[in-house]
Chains A and B, each alone.
Chain A
Amino acid sequence: MIELQNVTKRYPGNREALTHLNLTIEQGEMAFLTGPSGAGKSTLLKLIAAIERPTRGQVFINRKNITRIPKRKVPALRRHMGVVFQDHHLLHDRNVFDNVSLPLQIAGFAQVDINRRVRAALDKVALLDKEQMMPITLSGGEQQRVGIARAVVHKPAILLADEPTGNLDPELSAEIMRLFNDFNQVGVTVLIASHDLDLIERMNKRIIRLRAGECIDSQSPLDAQNFEIHN
């Protein structure tokens, strides 16, 4: 589903964010991306969402090479993905319903389908009763759930999340992770960048560890069960 072949990303100023990285995430897989700040987690997600282009190497999404995808084809690519941010990036001049419906508006769905899908997505994140509220009136955890509803409302094949629990307490974080797990259960490929090691180890999923732009370890769930933290 997601494949990176020998990818190097160098930012202006010669800072190398990723170095000769090889990585494959299968369809329907759920994986965590971890490592210290500056390890290249965000850069990796940006390459997948075509926000950044690799300096060298190739990126494939669903067997399509997106390494040099033309600008005008980027919107179509992103409509197959859902992206969740740490600070949820909701639009504050419109209510919850309108925020969640945005991907469907953009893709040109009929209003009846939009209504149905938005309610389904809000139901999934348990916010059905808040659809008319403005985002600013919601708690941090609720805002993050609105962000997740928006990321999944168009049933994307790939769900990317960059530190989705970064601002939440442990209990809310676990709840958010369970949501991601639910989406993975219905076949969505999920890739989550997080440095909350305790939490992601409990999820019993594949963990990809980056350090200084290199993949130093990639563990399947079975290994993770017996994994002990080495400092």
Chain B
Amino acid sequence: MDKLDPITKYPNMVFPLVMVFVIGFLLLGLAVQTVYLFESHQAQQVSSGGEFELLDTSDYSPSDADVSVMVGEAYFIQEDSSLPDNVVEASVGDIVYFYNEGEIAHTVTLAEFGIDEFVNPRDEVYIRVNRPVEETVLDCTLHSHHEGVLTVRES
């Protein structure tokens, strides 16, 4: 009886197997794209002010800054504070102003947030911080090659 019944050929597993493979590849594709989207979203947040916002120098002056930091040979010095050299502290929402009054160019680098600004003598860099940060590395990768620590607290 079964021999005459074409349905006994089931389960025909060719189509399901092909679909399982297709689903697998599509899931992998989705995973890769999701990770890529997540990473690019984070990068976008950094550059567009989601967390650390690099401000247009022409729109700001030192008087707009909440925290002023002098960048020089082997130091980041925060003005009007008793903090040691290479320690910078700010609050969420603050505009942090970096300037270089020396004769040698430096950089202001916050690698974690994709900020890497070149500061020529008498150049200025303005950064707004939009979330708390626990001791991120503030780096100068040019000439003196020194590191500082930036901490952003809730205001």
A binds B: no
Which residues from chain B sit less than 8 Å from chain A, CB to CB?
A: none
